[in-house]
Amino acid sequence: MQERQTALTDGSIGIALVILAVILWRAGNASFQKGMSYPPIIAGIFLIYASTGYAYFVEKRSASLVSEYAKKPAEESRALEEARMTKVVGNGYTHAFGICTLLIVSGVGIFLFYHRIPIKKGVACGLVMIGILGLATEGFSKHKNQQYLRTVQLHVSIQRRGRNR
């Protein structure tokens, strides 16, 4: 359920980015605003597409996991979920954090080298904005998954203690 909500949130952010890009594009004739509209439109379309695909994938995977876990004892199901989530929290965010950091560094680099060209300065600011937004959303997602993992670990720990008595 939480993963579906995350996909819907990401899709909403994508729609908001597309709207922001349109507003920036139509806001004036300044090339800075036009340049700043490029990263949000690309990121917005990507988020809409990716979140729709992810929501579909999560729905199918959730049904599969529920079916698989229902066939196993509760303790084994919790242990499997703990292993799955440990993997997700451990290295599932590496690429996203790297891409967001690269966007920020690229934006700063473009800004430093092309600060006198308004459209490129706008692109640079847009890249930094998208990178920061990405880091924030991925950080929030990782935090929520860490909380879920702690809850699963607590249940597994209680099961193990109860069995050892």
At 7 the pLDDT is: 82
At 16 the pLDDT is: 95
At 39 the pLDDT is: 95
d(CA 93, CA 99): 10
d(CA 43, CA 37): 10
List the one residue out of 45, 29, 35, 41 whose CA is nearest residue 107.
35
At 85 the pLDDT is: 84
At 77 the pLDDT is: 78
At 68 the pLDDT is: 78
Contacts of 53 (CB under 8 A, 6+ apart): none
Q: In a structure prediction context, what are the per-residue pLDDT tens digits for the chain, which is 165 residues long?
A: 567 788 888 899 999 999 999 999 988 678 898 999 999 999 999 999 998 888 888 777 777 777 777 787 777 778 888 888 888 888 888 899 999 999 999 999 999 999 899 999 999 999 999 999 999 999 988 888 888 888 888 876 665 555 655
pTM value is 0.80
Measured in degrees and rounded to the nearest 5, phi and psi for residue 159 equal -60, -45
At 93 the pLDDT is: 87
At 122 the pLDDT is: 93
Q: Domain ranges for the chain, please list them.
A: 2-164
At 164 the pLDDT is: 57
